[in-house]
């Protein structure tokens, strides 16, 4: 017999207290000890003939742990069904010890979806977003490309550093007179311009001669990757070894061809950039509209998001960022990223998305919006174009992985979002 009761810790977190009767505990212990007695080997006894009292003496702790787990597994589903609870993540279990002749008790913390009754979702405020890409924006992108392709060449005929130069230096960091671990480098390049030394700036070297050493004071920021140095002050002894200047390539057809971007002339590069930037601008505007609508929707319909769903979304967002670094050939580990801080920064946005999608599901239900077979086929055709694989093959892969229902839910949410955008109250930017 199973006795259970549910306590609301919040709209999305339930505390479930469970008690299993003594006879169920006895049955589970008898089964466990019986199975062990048939297989265990002890000196002086034939296999299958070890007395239970000896099995209990030597193996009781392991048996009790195993029985406790089996009792939880066998009863948890019964309890969830009885109270009509649908967890969004595996329940967190706190168990007591299994004791012969006593009931077995445990507590499960269960996260569930909130009950959602959406309201005031027609006419959400939205500001029109300008998606125009003009010549000035293309010019700026081309200038960034030129800067990225620049070379550093030695300055001849001058021995002292000037603002705007780049100095080749050796440096070593100190704190309270002691060398900083990992704070020594040779042949580093500093831009002689205003800015923090930790960002490779060295305005303090203005006027220094080649071979001259200067001390630069540094205040480590509160989010510095090395926790022991946060908010501390140090000094770097910097020796100038050489002076360089940045040489930016001329904007001509040869520069374009050296880029290797499927463009041969400056005009072709401009056309290609205009097309790429227009697509990027449209995608960004779409994302901004989506976030603005979800924000307005959540403000009008405050609900609580299950913490497990928020953390799952944080994991997905962080993974997407790290994969983006990898695609661009950047070693994320060498960036010294503070992953825990990144998670904290992502959490509000992740919570907004979870709340928004819970509301979108409720709106889809209320407005009788559904994802049809035609919607699925259109999505598979799009994936076919993106990945160069037959749509039928992609569809089959989704079926084999059991992902079709999840895809239908996402497409349904997308259609609900499109409904809100269509019904939004769009205003011109101020």
Q: Do 211 and 279 fall into the same domain? A: no
Report d(CA 46, CA 160) in Å as an integer.
92
Q: Residue 205 has what pLDDT?
A: 95
Average pLDDT, stretch 5-15?
Answer: 94
Q: Do 370 and 403 fall into the same domain? A: yes
pLDDT at 54 over 90: no
Q: Do 73 and 216 fall into the same domain? A: no
Between CA 158 and CA 166, with CA 163 as vertex, the angle to 5 degrees is 70
Q: Do 240 and 363 fall into the same domain? A: no
What is the CATH classification number for the domain harbouring 377? 1.10.3120.10
Q: Do 241 and 322 fall into the same domain? A: no
Average pLDDT, stretch 226-233?
Answer: 87
Q: Residue 134 falls within a domain, yes or no?
A: no
**Domain interval for residue 199:** 151-247
Q: Residue 119 has what pLDDT?
A: 94
The answer to whether 164 touches 193, Cβ cutoff 8 Å, is yes
Average pLDDT, stretch 158-174?
Answer: 94
Report in angstroms the alpha-carbon separations of 49 from 32, 41, 55, 58.
Answer: 15, 9, 11, 15
- The pTM assigned to this predicted structure is 0.70
Domain count, the chain: 3
Say what percent of the chain tops pLDDT 70: 98
**b vs e for 53-74, b when ≥16 Cβ sit within 10 Å of the residue's Cβ?**
eebbeebeeebbeebbeebbee
What is the CATH classification number for the domain harbouring 197? 3.10.50.40
pLDDT at 332 over 70: no
Report d(CA 9, CA 114) in Å as an integer.
12
- Separation of CA 64 from chain center: 39
Q: Do 243 and 267 fall into the same domain? A: no
Q: Residue 61 has what pLDDT?
A: 85
Which of 222, 247, 272 is the last residue in one of the domains?
Answer: 247
pLDDT one-digit tens code per residue, 369-425: 999 989 998 998 998 888 888 988 998 998 899 888 889 999 999 999 999 999 999
Average pLDDT, stretch 33-60?
Answer: 75
Q: Residue 252 falls within a domain, yes or no?
A: no
Average pLDDT, stretch 78-100?
Answer: 90
Q: Residue 48 has what pLDDT?
A: 65
The answer to whether 240 touches 210, Cβ cutoff 8 Å, is yes
Q: Do 229 and 272 fall into the same domain? A: no
Q: Residue 175 falls within a domain, yes or no?
A: yes
pLDDT tier at 56 (50, 70, 90 boundaries)?
confident
Q: Do 240 and 347 fall into the same domain? A: no
Say what percent of the chain tops pLDDT 90: 65
The answer to whether 95 touches 72, Cβ cutoff 8 Å, is yes
- N- to C-terminal Cα separation, the chain: 67
pLDDT at 228 over 90: no
Q: Do 235 and 272 fall into the same domain? A: no
Going by their DSSP bridges, the two strands 92-95 and 178-191 should be labelled as unpaired
Average pLDDT, stretch 113-141?
Answer: 93
Q: Residue 1 has what pLDDT?
A: 73
Average pLDDT, stretch 283-293?
Answer: 92
Length of the chain: 430
pLDDT one-digit tens code per residue, 104-121: 999 999 999 998 999 999
Which of 195, 220, 247 is the last residue in one of the domains?
Answer: 247
The answer to whether 204 touches 214, Cβ cutoff 8 Å, is yes
pLDDT at 195 over 90: yes
Q: Residue 59 falls within a domain, yes or no?
A: yes
Helix, strand, or coil (residue 291): helix
Q: Residue 257 falls within a domain, yes or no?
A: no
pLDDT tier at 46 (50, 70, 90 boundaries)?
low
Q: Do 224 and 102 fall into the same domain? A: no
Q: Do 43 and 192 fall into the same domain? A: no
Q: Residue 116 falls within a domain, yes or no?
A: no
What is the CATH classification number for the domain harbouring 7? 3.30.70.1050
The enclosing H or E element of 374 equals helix 373-387
Q: Do 328 and 400 fall into the same domain? A: yes
pLDDT at 43 over 80: no
Q: Residue 35 has what pLDDT?
A: 80
């Amino acid at each position: 017999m199973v006795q259970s009761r549910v306590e609301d810790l919040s709209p999305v977190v339930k505390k479930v207290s469970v008690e299993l009767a003594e006879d169920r505990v006895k049955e589970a212990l008898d089964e466990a000890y019986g199975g062990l007695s048939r297989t265990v080997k002890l000196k002086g006894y034939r296999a299958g003939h070890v007395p239970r009292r000896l099995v209990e003496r030597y193996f009781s702790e392991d048996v009790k742990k195993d029985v406790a787990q089996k009792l939880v597994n066998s009863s948890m589903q019964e309890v969830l069904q009885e109270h009509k609870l649908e967890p969004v993540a595996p329940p967190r279990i706190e168990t007591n010890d299994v004791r012969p002749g006593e009931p077995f008790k445990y507590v499960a913390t269960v996260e569930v979806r909130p009950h959602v009754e959406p309201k005031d979702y027609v006419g959400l405020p939205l500001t029109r977003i300008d998606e125009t890409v003009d010549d000035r924006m293309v010019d700026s992108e081309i200038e960034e490309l030129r800067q990225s392709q620049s070379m550093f060449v030695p300055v001849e005929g001058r021995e002292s550093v000037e603002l705007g130069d780049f100095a080749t230096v050796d440096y070593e960091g100190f704190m309270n007179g002691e060398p900083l671990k990992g704070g020594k480098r040779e042949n580093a390049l500093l831009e002689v311009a205003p800015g923090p030394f930790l960002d490779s700036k060295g305005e303090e070297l203005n006027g220094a001669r080649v071979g001259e050493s200067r001390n630069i004071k540094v205040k480590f920021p509160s989010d510095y990757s090395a926790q022991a140095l946060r908010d501390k002050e140090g000094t770097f002894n910097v020796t100038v070894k050489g002076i360089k200047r940045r040489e930016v390539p001329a904007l001509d057809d040869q520069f374009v061809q050296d880029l290797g971007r499927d463009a041969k002339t400056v005009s072709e590069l401009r056309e290609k950039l205009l097309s790429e930037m227009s697509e990027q601008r449209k995608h960004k505007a779409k994302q901004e509209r989506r976030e603005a609508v979800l924000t307005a929707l959540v403000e009008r319909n405050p609900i609580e998001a299950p913490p497990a769903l928020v953390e799952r979304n944080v994991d997905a967002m962080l993974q997407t960022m790290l994969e983006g670094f990898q695609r661009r050939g950047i070693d994320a580990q060498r960036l010294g990223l503070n992953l825990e801080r990144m998670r904290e920064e992502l959490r509000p946005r992740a919570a907004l998305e979870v709340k928004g999608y819970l509301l979108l599901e409720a709106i889809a239900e209320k407005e009788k919006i559904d994802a049809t077979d035609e919607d699925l086929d259109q999505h598979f055709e799009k994936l076919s174009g993106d990945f160069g694989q037959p749509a039928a093959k992609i569809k089959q892969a989704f079926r084999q992985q059991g992902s079709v229902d999840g895809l239908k839910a996402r497409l349904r949410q997308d259609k609900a979002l499109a409904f809100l955008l269509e019904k939004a109250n769009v205003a011109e930017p101020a």
